Structures are given as C-alpha cells and as structure tokens.
C-alpha cells in the first residue's frame, strides 16, 4: 500500500466524501476518495491523520492533501474534542513508522506496489508473467494489489483491475485479512468510491458469476467498521450503499440479488443502519422496496412457510431489543423519529383540508409487548431523561446550599461591619482582608440570582465568573493558620499589593504613552484603532512583537524606533525591575515570615473570638484564664534554669 494510503487507512477514520473528489494522492492524479468517506461522523482519528501527514510532509505529491487536512483539522478542533495526548502521539508515531516502511516499499523498483501506484500495466503484466502469485501478495494492513487499484480509483487503475479480474477471477474474493479492516472486499471499495459502473460490472461479468454471491454476502467486520466508529455502515455491501446515501447503487445490488433482510453482528438490519445514519428519505425508499419485494414473495408462499414467517423488517429487534423506531427514540434522532411516526400514520378519512389519521400504538404504548425484551418509545425517552433529572436535582441542591451559605455568611459579615464600622472593616489587611473577600463573594451570589430572575443570562455568566474567582481566593484565608502554607501566602500577599501594584501603575503610564504614539503614527481612525495599539503594546510586554504591524504605517522608521524604545523600557527595564523588587520582598519576608505568620494567626484567633457571643467566650471549653478574686489572670508554668532562661531569651528575640 503506498504511503498515503497506509496512513489514511491505518488512522482509524475515513474523512469526508465532499472534498475527496478534488484530492489527488500523487502526480499521476490518483483519486483517494475512500480515505475521506464519512466526514460528518469523523472522530478524533481525523486529527491523528492530519498530524501524521504533517510528520511525513517531505514526501512528494502531498502538498494539496496537507492543505485540505489542515482545514479539516481546524474544523474538528472548533468542535471541541480533547483526547489523551500521550495516546494521540503514540498513534501518530506508529502511523509514521508504517508510512515510512510503506514509502520505502512503494519507491523500491520492480515491485507490484510501485507498478500499481503508477498504474503501469506493462510492469504489472511483466511481474505477473514472472510470478503469477504476485497478485496474492499482502502488506501491512492485509491489502492485496487488487484492493489498491480500487482505492486509487482512476480510470487507468480501474482498467487494470478489470483486466486482472478477467485473468484471475478468484482475486475478486480477496479480503483484508488483518484486524483493522478484516472482511472488506473490492465491492465495498467500489461502493464507497461511488463507482456505480464498476459495481454493475463486478456483479454482471460472466467470469465473476461464480463469485457474485460471495461478493454480496461479504462482511467488513474489522475494528474500523465496528459499531461506534464513523465508518460503521452495516458490514454488508448493501449496508454500505444505503449508509452512504447511494440509491442508484442500492438498485444495482438489489437487481443482482442482494439480501434485503441481512443483519450485521449487532442484529441491526438495513433499516436500523439508516436510522443510525439519520437518512429518512433512504429509509422510506428502502422500506417501500422491501414491501414490494415481499408482496411478490407472498404470492409464492405456502401455508407452512407462513407459519414461520419473520416479523416485518421495521419490527425486527437488534441485540439491544430495539426496532428502528425505538432506536431513533433511544439515540435522540428527532428528525428521524418524526419521519418514522409520520410514515406509520394511516389516513382514515379526509374532507377538504381536514384529515383523520390513525397512529399505531405498537412500540409506543407502555406494556404492549408480552416479550420483555421489547421496548417502547415512552420508556426509552423517560429512562433516557433519568440521568438528566438526577443531574438537575444535584444542580438545584448545590445551588440551594451555595445560596443558603451566602445568606448566612453575608448576615454575619453585615453584623461584623456594624460592630467594627464600615471604615475599619474596609481598611483591614492581611488575613482579615482575605476573610472579608467573603463579603464580595456573597454580594456576587446575590447579584447572580437577581440577574437570573431578570433573565439577563449574558451578564449572569460575567458576574458568576468573577464571583467564582473571589470565592476560591477566599480559600487562602483557611490556609493561613498552617505553618506549611501560611508564610507562603503572606509572601504572595506582600508581592501582589506592593511590588506588582507599583509595577502595574508605572506600566500603565508607559502603556498609555506608547500606545497613543503608535496610534498617531499608524493613522488608524476610531476607538478600535486605539485599542489595537494598546493590544500590540501589551503583547510587547510578553515578548510577542509583530514587526509587520509596526512597519506598515506611514512612518515605518519612527515606528520601529519607538518599538525599540518600548522594548528597552518595558521588556528589559521594568520587567527586570519587577523581578528585582520581588526578590527583595521575598528576602525581607523570609526573615520575618515566622513573626508575620504568628501575627496573622493571632488575627484569625481574634476574628473568631469577635464572632463569638459573651456567653460562648465565658464557657469552660473556651476559657484560657484563671479567675483570682474576680480578676482574670493568664497562668504560665515556668522552670527557672539556665537552659530555659536561654530559650526564653531566644523566644523574646523572636
């Protein structure tokens, strides 16, 4: 298999049919539509392929394919798909290794794969004359040369394929024999490639007549075609044709005797597959054709055969006990479910614009089936909503707890504010400042509830975002009493409100000056131009300079000069000054960290005591003094020796 074929097939995803018609694998204009089938359901494999292609972009003839895959990757990234990074990179490296191996084989001269890749009929004939068994050779994923001819799909490749099939009819039955694509044959490939003429030729040519049934019954059961994969098409060629929305292909297959009652390993019929693929029009056509064929069969049936008659195709159950109708409900296919319910309706009578319709209750009414394996729509929908209801109840419980906590904490903060006075309450610092963040958090929760009641959801999210940040900042208050984290929190507090604050003030002045200067030089009208200048200057602080932005104005020399000044003042001077100040602050705080931590711990104890009533403070549990003749005394046990005195002296120094 050529390098690009191996990469696409080994990456567990086919991409989209819509762009495939314009892609070429090589300079020989080799189509590779099959590698791009099913984009609407493409999985993270799409991203794997794209990344793998980037790893081998040195290979000849892939530039256009790389461009298309880049677009495809961006589309998938915007849908929000996050997978395990190590697993992704592992898959990419494995694919890259296979690609390199296959590339070496492809460009190795005098091999069947090189001849197939180049559509060189003379070279293929020469190799076959030398060794007829060369048509049976296989490679990494179990493919044979005949598969590759169908995968490339150009007229030259298909002509060679016809010639080989006439000379060696048995190769028509060759399938992929490795786990990924096990069971896939040339009929599957021709269907996905939308080669209707080739499909008709395979099923009607005299030399292939003995193998027609085997072609029609072949099942693609590899991992790539399992349920849940984007290329899950029902395993059989008829399922492939239906799931890729090719009614003309279905007509050809039915003309040559394809079994309309076939089921895959999950007991899904073609109608089940059409529900999964969300194709209501194809469903209606297939059902009508099945009824037509069944009516023709009924004329030939005997009484004995009628007793063992299978249920109608649309009433058959898969392994999950679901009919196509209940499958549509269970999988949330609203459009498909609506179409199925509508087509089941029976017209009773009509009078002008008024019609009377009867809707069958089978598969709808609860308790209709005697067989417990059968399921109805209402049960599926209700059970499907079970976890949604539980989720909502949990959300409401959590919201109630948060709101109740905000009310209680807010009431306590208001009481504290009244006792201390507003000015003293606001001017507190250290841990008390962190503790007072609770007031902002409670206020934010109340504002969110008001916005929610007034249905201003856009502002609700904005306020809730800042409120959640303040709420987590309040957690620092509870880490302060611990010796392990308390001093560290103090350092952060000192740096933020001293060094970083001073830096921000000075940087704001420089930012305003430089941004206005660039705004004038660039001659950008409007407030948007000024904001653009501010953004570029701020990005300069992070070291991200867009030189093209600064030289596109009317005075590029002056702009570049100002840019250099901006780099020197902001990036070099101010940033290094900030780092130096933070280093000094760290050194100063480290010397007195223990004392500051004890101070903040004492503040916390005082804050807790202020929140207690007089009766609580006088209780024996919280009593820390000795009552002597009505006076309170703090009793300390002291050992009078030199060592203790020395320790006490050190303690006093601390």
What CATH number does the domain containing 244 carry? 1.25.40.20
pTM of the predicted structure, to 2 decimals: 0.50
Q: What is the pLDDT of residue 92?
A: 47
The answer to the question of residue 547 being in a domain is no
- Specify the pairing of strand 626-628 against strand 631-633: antiparallel
Q: What is the pLDDT of residues 535-573, one digit of tens each?
A: 778 777 777 777 777 777 677 788 888 888 888 888 888
Q: Do 234 and 194 belong together in one domain?
A: yes
Q: Do 99 and 174 belong together in one domain?
A: no
Last residue of one domain, picked from the residues 454, 479, 504: 479
The answer to the question of residue 654 being in a domain is no
Q: Do 367 and 402 belong together in one domain?
A: no
3 state SS of 303: helix
Q: Do 71 and 173 belong together in one domain?
A: no
**Cβ contacts of 474 within 8 Å, gap of 6 or more:** 434, 435, 437, 438, 441
Fill in the DSSP letter of residue 279: -
**Is 502 within 8 Å of 581 (Cβ atoms)?**
yes
Q: What is the pLDDT of residue 564?
A: 85
Fill in the DSSP letter of residue 619: S
The answer to the question of residue 618 being in a domain is no
**Cβ contacts of 337 within 8 Å, gap of 6 or more:** 325, 328, 329, 377
Q: Do 74 and 113 belong together in one domain?
A: no
**Is 153 within 8 Å of 193 (Cβ atoms)?**
yes
Q: What is the pLDDT of residue 629?
A: 66
**Is 147 within 8 Å of 186 (Cβ atoms)?**
yes
Q: Do 243 and 348 belong together in one domain?
A: no
Strand partners, 351: 354
**Cβ contacts of 90 within 8 Å, gap of 6 or more:** none
**Is 366 within 8 Å of 379 (Cβ atoms)?**
yes
Total domain count for the chain?
4
Last residue of one domain, picked from the residues 57, 90, 107: 107
Distance (Å, rounded) from C-alpha 73 to C-alpha 449?
40
Q: Do 72 and 113 belong together in one domain?
A: no
The answer to the question of residue 474 being in a domain is yes
Q: Do 155 and 33 belong together in one domain?
A: no
Q: Do 114 and 143 belong together in one domain?
A: yes
The answer to the question of residue 522 being in a domain is no
Q: What is the pLDDT of residue 356?
A: 78
Q: Do 237 and 223 belong together in one domain?
A: yes
Last residue of one domain, picked from the residues 73, 89, 107: 107
Domain encompassing residue 474: 387-479
Question: Which segments in the chain show pLDDT lower than 70?
Answer: 1-109, 300-309, 359, 361-389, 420, 422-436, 523-526, 553, 593-594, 600, 603-604, 606-654
The answer to the question of residue 579 being in a domain is no
The answer to the question of residue 51 being in a domain is yes
3 state SS of 183: coil
Q: Do 250 and 359 belong together in one domain?
A: no
**Cβ contacts of 28 within 8 Å, gap of 6 or more:** 117, 118, 119, 154
The answer to the question of residue 492 being in a domain is no
Torsion of CA 284, 288, 289, 295, to 10 degrees: 160
Q: Do 129 and 38 belong together in one domain?
A: no
Could you report how far apart the first and last alpha carbons of the chain are, in Å? 78
């Amino acid at each position: 298999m050529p390098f690009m074929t191996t990469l696409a097939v080994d990456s567990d995803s086919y991409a989209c049919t819509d762009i495939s018609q314009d892609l070429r694998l090589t300079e020989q204009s080799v189509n590779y539509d099959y590698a791009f089938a099913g984009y609407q359901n493409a999985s993270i494999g799409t991203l794997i392929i794209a990344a793998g292609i980037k790893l081998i972009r040195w290979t000849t003839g892939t530039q256009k394919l790389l461009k298309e895959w880049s677009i495809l990757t961006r589309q998938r990234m915007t849908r929000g798909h996050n997978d395990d990074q190590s697993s992704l990179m592992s898959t990419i490296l494995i694919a890259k290794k296979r690609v390199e191996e296959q590339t070496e084989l492809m460009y190795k001269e005098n091999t069947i794969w090189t001849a197939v890749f180049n559509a060189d009929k003379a070279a293929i004939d020469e190799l076959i004359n030398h060794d007829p068994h060369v048509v049976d050779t296989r490679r990494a994923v179990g493919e044979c040369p005949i598969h590759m001819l169908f995968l490339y799909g150009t007229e030259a490749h298909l002509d060679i394929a016809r010639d080989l099939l006439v000379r060696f009819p048995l190769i028509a039955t060759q399938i992929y024999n490795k786990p990924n694509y096990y069971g896939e044959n040339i009929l599957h490939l021709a269907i996905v490639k939308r080669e209707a003429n080739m499909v008709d030729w395979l099923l009607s040519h005299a030399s292939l007549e003995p193998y027609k049934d085997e072609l029609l019954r072949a099942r693609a059961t590899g991992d790539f075609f399992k349920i849940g994969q984007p290329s899950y098409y029902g395993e059989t060629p008829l399922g492939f044709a239906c799931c890729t929305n090719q009614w003309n292909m279905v007509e050809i297959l039915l003309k040559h005797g394809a079994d309309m009652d076939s089921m895959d390993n999950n007991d899904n019929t073609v109608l089940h597959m059409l529900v999964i693929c969300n194709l209501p029009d194809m469903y209606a056509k297939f059902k009508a054709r099945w009824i037509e064929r069944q009516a023709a069969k009924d004329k030939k049936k005997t009484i004995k055969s009628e007793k063992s008659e299978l249920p109608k195709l649309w009433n058959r159950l898969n392994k999950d006990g679901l009919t196509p109708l209940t499958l549509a409900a269970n999988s949330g296919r609203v459009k498909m479910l609506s179409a199925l319910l509508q087509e089941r309706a029976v017209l009773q009578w009509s009078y002008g614009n008024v019609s009377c319709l009867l809707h069958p209750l089978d598969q709808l009414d609860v308790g209709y089936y005697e067989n417990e394996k059968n399921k109805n729509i209402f049960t599926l929908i209700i059970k499907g909503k079970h976890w949604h209801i539980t989720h909502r109840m949990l959300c409401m419980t959590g919201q109630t707890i948060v709101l109740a906590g905000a009310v209680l904490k807010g009431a306590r903060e208001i009481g504290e504010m009244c006792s201390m006075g507003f000015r003293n309450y606001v001017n507190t610092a250290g841990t008390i400042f962190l503790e007072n963040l609770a007031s902002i958090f409670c206020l934010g929760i109340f504002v969110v509830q008001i916005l929610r009641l007034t249905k201003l959801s856009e502002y609700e999210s904005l306020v809730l975002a800042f409120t959640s940040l303040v709420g987590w900042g309040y957690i620092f208050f509870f880490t302060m009493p611990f010796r392990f984290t308390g001093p560290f929190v103090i350092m952060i507090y000192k740096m933020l409100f001293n060094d970083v604050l001073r830096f921000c003030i000075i940087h704001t002045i420089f930012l305003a000056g430089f941004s206005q200067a660039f705004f004038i030089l660039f001659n950008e009208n409007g407030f948007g131009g000024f904001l653009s200048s501010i953004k570029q200057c701020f990005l300069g602080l992070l070291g991200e300079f867009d030189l093209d932005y600064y030289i596109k104005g009317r005075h590029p020399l002056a702009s570049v000069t100002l840019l250099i000044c901006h780099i020197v003042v902001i990036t070099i001077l101010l940033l290094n000054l900030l780092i130096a100040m933070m280093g000094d602050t760290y050194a100063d705080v480290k010397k007195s960290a223990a004392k500051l931590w004890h101070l903040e711990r004492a503040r916390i104890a005082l804050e807790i005591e202020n929140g207690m009533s007089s009766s609580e403070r006088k209780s024996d549990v919280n009593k820390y003094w000795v009552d002597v003749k009505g006076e309170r005394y703090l009793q300390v046990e002291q050992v009078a020796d030199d060592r203790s005195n020395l320790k006490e002296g050190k303690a006093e120094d601390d």
